[in-house]
Structure 1
Amino acid sequence: MRIASIFATGLIGLCGMASFASAGGTHTLVTPDDVQWGQAPKVLPTGAEAAVLFGDPSKEGLFALRIKVPAGYAIPPHTHPVHEVVTVMSGTINIGMGETADPSAAKALPAGSFIALPPGTAHFARFDEPTVIQITTIGPWAIKYINPADDPQKSQ
């Protein structure tokens, strides 16, 4: 299985679109009107949008990233090499643990919910309504799909 660096291609340009600061001690303030959405990285299934709020997910260090998905969106089972800390900003994420996307094993987490997954935790997500999640973690961020054929970059 291959680890796909989520920002190796498409999202590096997105970093410049968002308001972000280095870890060098400057502060960052972002209002909802400041969030600038762009195409999500190609390692995610088509249809998502992303906005970097802080840091650079392609580099070592702390970052905050929002991902906006439409109703019917799904992310197949995958893992991350670092802790993943997710807050549901709006909508609902149906998240399940394990290497198989079993909808009956997913738990619906509405806006305001919090998720913290240790490195290597296999999980999947489904969204029945438009949803925005925020990921805050240490980069570089990557996704390793359990089934390499699920990696959207393979079909590009």
Structure 2
Amino acid sequence: MPDALTVIRHADRPSVTLPGGAAYQPIIGDDTGDGLPIRTGIQTSQPGYATPPHSHPYAEILTVIEGRGEAWLDGEEGVVMMEPGVTIAVPANRVHAFRVVGDRPLVTLGVHTNGKRIVNYVSPPQSPG
């Protein structure tokens, strides 16, 4: 971990396209070279977007900046509404998914409690909700 203040300018971080079409702008972690033990990024998901059920071997935290969505966690009843002012914390190794609700993009700030994004997709996919 760096021993000096790390300043990240979002305009300097390019976006990538995730499977399914969501735009993801990595801020800290993976190949950004910051040496920090977390990964953060801003994801913009268009109407109709849904993640396939998956898990991570670490906790994931999502804060909604704009739009609306639904989050699903395996083993829990129903879904949780995602909207501005809502943060969800997904436990490590728990299968989860989310989808956009409505006609506006869902913008989230994601924090992975690991410096590298690791995704374990469920095969065959489970049905959220």
Percent of residue pairs identical: 24
Q: Structure 1: which 5+ residue stretches go unaligned?
A: 1-22, 151-156
1:27 and 2:6 matched: yes
TM-score, normalised relative to structure 1: 0.64
Q: What RMSD over aligned residues (CA atoms) do the two structures have, in Å?
A: 2.7
- Cα offset, 1:48, TM superposition: 0.7
Is residue 50–residue 67 contact of structure 1 (8 Å, CA) maintained in 2? yes
- Cα offset, 1:54, TM superposition: 2.2
Q: Structure 2: which 5+ residue stretches go unaligned?
A: none
Secondary structure of the 2:38 match is strand
- Corresponding residue of 1:6: none
Is residue 82–residue 141 contact of structure 1 (8 Å, CA) maintained in 2? no
Q: Normalized per residue, which structure has more helix? A: 1
Give the distance between the partners of 2:92 and 2:73, measured in 1 at CA.
13
Give the distance between the partners of 1:110 and 1:94, measured in 2 at CA.
9
Q: 1:136 aligns with which of 111, 114, 127?
A: 111
Instruction: Provide runs of 4+ in structure 1 moved above 3 Å.
Output: 57-60
Give the distance between the partners of 2:46 and 2:119, measured in 1 at CA.
20
- Corresponding residue of 2:72: 96
TM-score, normalised relative to structure 2: 0.76
Secondary structure of the 1:134 match is strand
Alpha-carbon spacing, 1:149–1:116, altered in 2? closer, same or farther (3 Å): closer
Give the distance between the partners of 2:64 and 2:12, measured in 1 at CA.
16
Q: 1:69 aligns with which of 41, 45, 51?
A: 45
Is residue 97–residue 123 contact of structure 1 (8 Å, CA) maintained in 2? yes
Secondary structure of the 1:120 match is coil
- Cα offset, 1:35, TM superposition: 6.8
Give the distance between the partners of 1:147 and 1:136, measured in 2 at CA.
25
- Cα offset, 1:60, TM superposition: 7.2
Amino acid at match of 2:21: G
Give the distance between the partners of 1:35 and 1:46, measured in 2 at CA.
24
State the aligned residue count: 119
Secondary structure of the 2:93 match is coil
